[in-house]
Structure 1
């Protein structure tokens, strides 16, 4: 006689635990950065006296990072602000554009499809330059001049590829809903709008959440491109710190390694959480 097994409890969603492999990776990365810094250090000239040696001794890379870490972390926080704002703006507009792709109006459907494919297949740096130089730096509203800062333009530039990718994610998620859902809603007297908002879209959340989080991780790492257009974020501040320390070549690897390490510590848990959500929300159609 067949025995019904109890349903397996869902895997808890929480902050990914760090194992000894992660610690080993951090140690290896630190050793590599330190060895690169040592290899780039120029040979020291023998000091004429002990007093001269004390006065001319350069600061170690570790002490430089500790000294400038508050400023660099402030720049990293600005990268996070840009990524969150771009993801929010891109998600809202992407949902609208995605709904346009399944519209019954052929003109709306074709225009939405074209915008999605155009911004989805354009280089992010090109879109960033497009937003920086095509949007005016100030607006005259009823005689009042309102400046439009560069970091807001950067948010719009990063929101464009987010919008296109979210639009395609939503279209694919809606198409993955079985036709029986639509037929059942129609038989119950739901309109098309009611079916989309009350039945289809709630089921699309599970399908869209893991790739949406992966897209956010990519946008966060891409925010360093804002340094190319003059936005003062972590990479820009890293270059300024390197110049303030005399442009010493042995500081190049530690400073930029510290910047990369900050992004890794922020994005790696997002990637692990995305994998857990993929397993938890594994939808079988």
Structure 2
């Protein structure tokens, strides 16, 4: 019998969520969407999300998009990755030591292909693009642009470690395209999860660049996403905060927790 894979796909131009923060749950994954406060001038939503998960909880795959000028680049990325869903699922069925390496190579082959680059040249606008995969007790990410990824765990927080990578400006996929340059610029990496509850948070800049910018302080962001056991309540609360602070930009969050029963690496002394 063919396996049914869990999938979630959304583009902001289809459903804006102006003045209306909303959350959706897919297994352990929470997707939060907010298009901005119309009293502050918000009138569009150019974010996007695409999520796949293995039904038995073996892995989660998420793509987060923050486009500008138009949502065309987000629409292209969602359409492209959805068309590759079968191959992504196949790659994530490989042993973890192969899966991340081959998935990254596959994404690069797509983004550097002439067919994809030709479609990008027809777009108005471009998008930041962040991928993240949790598989076994590891987290892999691939990022173009300034979306943010956090791995939240008390052992890491005690040492001041919250973000994976950093926000990189002036990188996009679309009409302006890093993969059309002689040397493409992007970030990728792999981290081992700590033992116990790990909270993974992906977010666009609309969550951070609002009001007094409190959540730009990663300690405050850690408290916001770990202060309650119910992660959906955490996501709803931070998006309501964006609305109350008259956030004009769209804010999109993908968050989930994973309870890791394997001990993390420790020094011998």
TM-score (norm 2): 0.25
TM-score (norm 1): 0.24
Bigger share in strand:
2
Bigger share in helix:
1
**Relative contact order: is structure 1 or structure 2 higher (C-alpha 8 Å, sep ≥ 6)?**
1
